[in-house]
Amino acid sequence: MGVELIAVGAREDVLRKIRTSIGAPAVSSPAIEAEWNALPREYNRVGSLSREAVLEMLDERLRDYDASVIRIQSGAVAETIAKQLTERGKHRLVIPQGLAEALGEALPTGFEFVVDEGLSTTELDSFEGVVTASTVAIAETGTIVLQNVAGEGRRAPTLVPDYHLCIVRASDVVENVPEAMARLAATASLATTFVSGPSATADIEMTRIKGVHGPRFLDVILVT
Amino acid sequence: MSGAGLDPRTAPKFQVAARVLVGDSQMRKNVRHATKVIQTKRAKVVAEMPDWQKLREAGKAIRQHTMRHLDFYLEQFERNCTAAGGVVHWARNAEEARQIVIGLVKASGAMGESPTEVIKIKSMTTEEIQLNKALEEAGVHAYETDLAELIIQLGHDQPSHIVVPALHKNRAQIREIFMREMNLPNLGGTPQDLADAARRFLREKFLRVKTAVSGANFLVAETGSVCIVESEGNGRMCLTLPETLISVAGIDKVVPRYQDLEVLLQLLPRSATGERMNPYNSLWTGVDPAEKGGDGPRTFHVVLMDNARSEILADEEARQTLHCIRCGACQNACPVYQQTGGHAYGSVYAGPIGAILTPQLMEMHHAQSLPYASSLCGACYEVCPVKINIPEVLIHLRNKVVKQQSSGFHILANPEVMALKAVAQVFRSDKVFRVSQKLGRLAELPLSHKDGQGVGWIDWLPGMLGGWTQVRDLRVMPKQTFRQWFEEREKNKQGGK
């Protein structure tokens, strides 16, 4: 195939030009690491709020971006899912593998839950919604982080259907972005999606419109 | 974007283009409204962060460090991305990048079929290289999927802002474009109606088209991951559903480590759209093997493009231009941009960052008027999340332009330089200077007139000098210069003795 032949020697040329431009002699990788370690990081890396204040903040900021939030005690997950889906009028939902285990409760009866085992895009488009767990939530920004693990699954199922019901455990809620990145570092190479409210745009006269291509409705169940 | 793009090689001088555009009162109203709304939102969410200045410091330090070791981090990214199943390509310039992408698109079809369509995420880098036009000429239609880019594409228009490319259009204008291009005679006029129309129009493309082209916000060297931030979900559609994904990134987009995102992902959304976090951030690493669940495209390519960036790196004072994370905050804050809009800059990179980036991307061969498209008020520096001292770079580039235009044959074509050289001659000799002052007083006589207080004014100058008096009056030269006064005083003193 010809693609490799289009820019023969480009890699070496670009790297050579960069080295000439930087001008400094090549530095060893430990020296670069030491320099990186010494970069100023005086911003808040650890939060300062109480647990309850952090959960309050997540609740408020999710609502601020048009998500609904239901706060419950553990043990009531299945019944809350049932209540919420009934309220929304959703019956046929796609779920990732290992959702019940991730939630620690069996899913409610009376709904059609289909496990995603590599469903096609068109098949995903036929569902009324998706139910998932989550890896981390960031209070300060009203963000939920999903990764490709059991209970959260592939990225497409949380994207194509129009409704997303997401279950967040209070113990996974952190106050700020640095705390979240620290938790995610170990699994950094997994496909990761940060979701902050439903899909939105402000491209027309800077008016925020809820819902363009991603799910237009996001409900969050926050389990203490 | 469609048709001929904004090309700094052929664009008129900023001052000429701006004169025409400031006459478009509808455009100015739209731009003023949009920039004001984003600025207010930004100010609110920035004020929420007590550590904002420390985040800016860290952001600047990370970018500086990256540029100092750019070769190291690019190679590290390449290694890790390749190990995760991605394919990394290198392009010296725009032409190479275009050819690589076209080649990859053509090879991406199933069973040897060559695709005729791709879906695209908004990407300034692909705008910079005018990729859509090149794809079109190669028989491939690119569907822009970002709402603003779709408005631009269907309206046969050009982007005028880094983050909100269609901010120069209002809802009525957008409605007209959609009614005509999507064939929707009964389309409603609210932003919600228009967004719904875009959703329906693009949904079918997302589900059908198997090849996607994107840019990239950050390439993480440590993990080989790519990060894209967006709002609408069109990005996720393009990154997740197709079989093949091709991401085009400038070599400046690399960041050392995953942890560095904790700084940049705080700075970027608050600066760009005034949100605490934009609705979606996607991070992925190479391809996910099918046996593990098959999340996302089967084939993933990254095109690392230089296109004059390594040249910018060589200029120590201007190097900070490469620190830019494309948030557009400087555009919203700029009093010049607010009046002219983006098109006057003749480049996909408009506003203050465009004024320093564009001429450098052209290796100072074109767009030399852009460093002058500023009042040097410093508003851009104040809002820049990675503290690029744009006014400093503007002055540095003006200096370069002057040097360029006052050397060799250029001088003959530049009356201003000729005049300044003549003035320099006059300043060199006391005698010549005194004579020219006398001559000046004589020459201004027929042009001057006195006001009510008896002060002499000139309100019209002939020829090229007329530019000065077009917007201001000039005081006539005083009857006596300081030197004359001083010498006379000394003479009188001695006489008095």
Do B396 and B402 contact (CB within 8 A), yes or no?
Answer: no
Residue B3 confidence (pLDDT)? 42
Residue B21 confidence (pLDDT)? 95
The answer as to whether A33 is a domain residue is no
Is B314 in contact with A20 (Cβ distance < 8 A)? yes
Is B280 in contact with A196 (Cβ distance < 8 A)? yes
The angle at the Cα of B14, spanning B12 to B20, to the nearest 5 degrees, equals: 80
Residue A208 structural domain:
51-223
Q: Sort out which chain B residues have CB atoms less than 8 A from A166's CB and list them.
A: none
**Closest listed residue to residue A159, CA positions, set B203, B408, B292:** B203
Which of B90, B199, B296 lies nearest to residue A191, judging by beta carbons?
B296
Q: All domains of chain B, ordered by start, with CATH? A: 14-311 (3.40.50.10420), 413-496 (no CATH)
Strands B456-458, B448-450: pairing kind = antiparallel
Q: Which pair of tokens denotes residue A218?
A: 């996001």
Q: Calculate how close chain A gets to B334, using CA atoms only, in Å.
A: 18
Is B265 in contact with A206 (Cβ distance < 8 A)? no
Q: What is the DSSP letter of A91?
A: -
Which of B145, B146, B240 lies nearest to residue A156, judging by beta carbons?
B240
Residue A199 confidence (pLDDT)? 83
Question: Has residue A198 got a pLDDT over 80?
Answer: yes
One-letter amino acid at A130 equals V
Q: Calculate how close chain A gets to B8, using CA atoms only, in Å.
A: 23
Q: Identify the CATH number of the domain in which residue A144 sits.
A: 3.40.50.10420
Is A191 in contact with B295 (Cβ distance < 8 A)? yes
Percent of chain A residues past pLDDT 70, beyond the cut: 97
Q: Which pair of tokens denotes residue B87?
A: 């394919």
Is A15 in contact with B71 (Cβ distance < 8 A)? yes
The interface predicted TM-score of the complex, written ipTM, equals 0.95
Among left, alpha and beta (phi > 0; psi -120 to 50; other), residue B303 is: beta
Residue B481 CB partners (closer than 8 Å, separation 6+)? B437
At A62 the three-state DSSP class reads helix
Residue B291 confidence (pLDDT)? 66
Is B198 in contact with A140 (Cβ distance < 8 A)? no
Q: Sort out which chain B residues have CB atoms less than 8 A from A215's CB and list them.
A: 233
Do B22 and B339 contact (CB within 8 A), yes or no?
Answer: yes
Which of B65, B207, B225 lies nearest to residue A39, judging by beta carbons?
B65
CA–CA separation, A107 and A104 (whole Å): 9
Do A81 and A165 contact (CB within 8 A), yes or no?
Answer: yes
The answer as to whether A37 is a domain residue is no
CA–CA separation, B328 and B358 (whole Å): 15
Residue B496 confidence (pLDDT)? 58
Question: Has residue A215 got a pLDDT over 70?
Answer: yes
Do B64 and B255 contact (CB within 8 A), yes or no?
Answer: no
Q: Sort out which chain B residues have CB atoms less than 8 A from A194's CB and list them.
A: 265, 277, 280-283
Is A213 in contact with B233 (Cβ distance < 8 A)? yes
Count other Cβ atoms within 10 Å, centred on residue A82: 15
Backbone angles phi, psi at A164, to 5 degrees: -125, 120
CA–CA separation, B9 and B380 (whole Å): 25
Residue B82 confidence (pLDDT)? 98
**Closest listed residue to residue A192, CA positions, set B326, B220, B75:** B220
Which stretches in chain B have pLDDT values below 50?
A: 1-3
Strands A209-210, A200-201: pairing kind = antiparallel
Q: Half-sphere exposure of B42 toward its Cβ, with a 13 Å CA cutoff?
A: 24
Question: Which site among A15, A61, A203, A217 would you substitute to test the B interface, given the most B Cβ atoms closer than 10 Å to its Cβ?
Answer: A203
Using alpha carbons, list the distances in angstroms from residue B374 to A23, B162, B204, B340: 31, 18, 44, 11
Residue B317 CB partners (closer than 8 Å, separation 6+)? B392, B393, B396
Residue B1 confidence (pLDDT)? 38
The answer as to whether A27 is a domain residue is no
State which residue of chain B sits closest to A183, comparing Cα positions: B259
* Element of type H or E holding B376: none
CA–CA separation, A152 and A132 (whole Å): 5
Number of domains in chain A: 1
> Tell me: the pLDDT tens digits for B400-437?
998 888 777 666 777 777 888 888 889 999 899 989 88
Do A138 and A44 contact (CB within 8 A), yes or no?
Answer: no
Residue B440 confidence (pLDDT)? 87
Q: Which pair of tokens denotes residue B151?
A: 């408005």
CA–CA separation, B198 and B146 (whole Å): 9
Q: How many pairs of residues across A and B have Cβ atoms under 8 Å apart?
A: 271
Do B247 and B302 contact (CB within 8 A), yes or no?
Answer: yes
Is A214 in contact with B236 (Cβ distance < 8 A)? yes
Q: Calculate how close chain A gets to B452, using CA atoms only, in Å.
A: 50
pLDDT grade, residue A166 (50/70/90)?
very high
Q: Which residues pair with B214 in a beta bridge?
A: B247
CA–CA separation, A142 and A174 (whole Å): 10
CA–CA separation, B164 and B36 (whole Å): 13
Is B70 in contact with A18 (Cβ distance < 8 A)? yes
Using alpha carbons, list the distances in angstroms from residue A192 to A169, A197, B395: 18, 16, 42
State which residue of chain B sits closest to A27, comparing Cα positions: B69
pLDDT grade, residue A147 (50/70/90)?
very high
The answer as to whether A145 is a domain residue is yes
Residue B147 confidence (pLDDT)? 93
The answer as to whether A190 is a domain residue is yes
Q: Calculate how close chain A gets to B323, using CA atoms only, in Å.
A: 14
Using alpha carbons, list the distances in angstroms from residue B111 to A3, B99, B149, B210, B243: 18, 22, 31, 13, 13
Q: Sort out which chain A residues have CB atoms less than 8 A from B37's CB and list them.
A: 205-206
Which of B57, B223, B294 lies nearest to residue A40, judging by beta carbons?
B57
